[in-house]
Amino acid sequence: MIDPAFDTAVTRAYGTRLPVVAGGLMWLSDAAYVSACARAGIVGFITAASFPDPEALRAEIRRTREMADGGPFGVNVSMLPKLVPGERTEEIFALIADEGVRFVETSGRNPEPWLPMLKQAGITVLHKVPSVRFAEKAQSVGVDMVSIVGAECGGHPGLDLVGSFVNLALAERRLKIPFLIGGGVGHGGQIVAALAGGASGVVVGTRFLVAEEVTAHPDYKRALAGARETDTMLSMSSVRNTIRTLRNETSETVARMEAENPEIGIEALMPHVAGRIGRQAYETGDVSRGMLSAGQALGLTGEIAPLARIVGGLEEEARVALARLRPAPARMQEEIAV
């Protein structure tokens, strides 16, 4: 039986059991992972940028649909801050609509130019931002929901570096559309806290990196499972592209280069930060090199396990947290019912 507390704008929009979104993970959000999310009662997003051409993405969408057992899934479209020649954003959105995908997660720049196309196709648009001021802009242009990822998140937390708990309070005051909170979320009690603060759900990334269904080398997952919340670091702020990654040789080198030359520029950093280097870690398990996105929820990762078991653990932790908030008679009735 689903707890009424989990009946939110997120679960109603996606048709999920829990108000949890598994945000798109570059190179890792494929059919195996995203369909596992669907079967576990949450929603995940295939990362369009992980596929070399539109037809490869189309094939992955169809594979996900076959594996999802009727569960919901979407596609993440991460756009560069500015339009560049050769960018295929419009083509990708058209493909998504043509395949009948109902949900899209956008990030990067303003999705406003594409909203008429997406709305006409009946697609729900969740836009991911690093702080509330960008969420307000997304709200003004007509997205359906926003996810706000705080400074604790793996990947790109933006330049403001506002923490998730503060984002939660600010969003409750300033937003009218449903919003989700991400960044450091890896415990069911945080789901309850987010809902109590006015969010309609949470975004989880790092906590799911140790799922068996993530297509990455076991040694990579073991390294994350053994890591602590202090084993991440921020870098690339000198090029206005701040990223939180696993602390390793590459991230230490990049941080040192920036400290020695604040005007260093992206060209000098590229031999170290190129995505292909990080991708090799997922293939080989060598986590000493590459910018490997990871958030402070590393401290909550624990063992490698099936995604359904991880989600089940979050759900049980959330139920325990809810029980703490309810009057004693209600708790006693629940215990008797069990």
Residue 67 has pLDDT above 60, yes or no: yes
Q: Are residues 233 and 264 in the same domain?
A: yes
Q: Are 225 and 304 in contact (CB under 8 A)?
A: yes
Q: 247 and 160, same structural domain?
A: no
Q: Which pLDDT belongs to residue 250? A: 96
Both 153 and 253 in one domain: the answer is no
Query: What was the pLDDT predicted at 155?
Result: 94
Closest CA to 296 of 209, 219, 236: 209
pLDDT per position as a tens digit, 88-144: 899 999 999 999 999 999 999 999 999 999 999 999 999 999 999 999 999 999 999
Q: What is the DSSP string of 38-102?
A: HHHTSEEEEEGGGSSSHHHHHHHHHHHHHHTTT---EEEEEPPSS--TT--HHHHHHHHHHTT--
Domain assignment of residue 301, yes or no: no
Given a cut of 90, whether residue 326 has pLDDT beyond it is no
Name the residue among 215, 210, 194 with its Cα closest to residue 246: 210
pLDDT at 331 over 60: no
**Are 183 and 269 members of one domain?**
no
Q: Let me know if residue 214 belongs to a domain.
A: no
More confident residue, 37 or 337: 37
219, part of any domain = no
Flag whether 217 is in a domain. no
Residues 197 and 240 in one domain: no
The answer on 27 and 103 residing in a single domain is yes
Answer whether residue 319 is part of any domain.
Answer: yes
User: In sequence order, which residues have a C-beta less than 8 Å from that of residue 259 and are 6 or more positions away?
Assistant: none
What is the structure's pLDDT at 332?
55
Q: What are the DSSP calls for 99-120, one per residue?
A: TT--EEEEESS--GGGHHHHHH
Q: 278 pLDDT band (50/70/90 cuts)? A: confident
Residues 254 and 160 both lie in one domain = no
Across residues 178-203, what is the average pLDDT? 98
Residue 276 banded pLDDT, cuts 50, 70, 90:
confident
* Same domain for 232 and 174: no
pLDDT at 29 over 90: yes
Please report whether residue 213 resides in a domain.
no
Could you give the 3-state DSSP secondary structure of residue 246?
strand
- What long-range pairs does 267-275 form, CB within 8 A, spacing at least 24? 269/236, 269/239, 273/236, 275/26, 275/27
The answer to whether position 253 is within a domain reads yes
Say yes or no: 255 and 189 in one domain: no
| Segment 312-335 mean pLDDT | 82
Number of domain units in the chain? 2
What CATH number did the domain enclosing 8 receive?
3.20.20.70
Clarify whether residues 123 and 198 are in a common domain: yes
**In a shared domain, residues 11 and 115:** yes
Domain that holds residue 281: 225-296
Task: Determine, yes or no, domain membership for 112.
Answer: yes
The reply to whether 118 and 77 lie within a common domain is yes
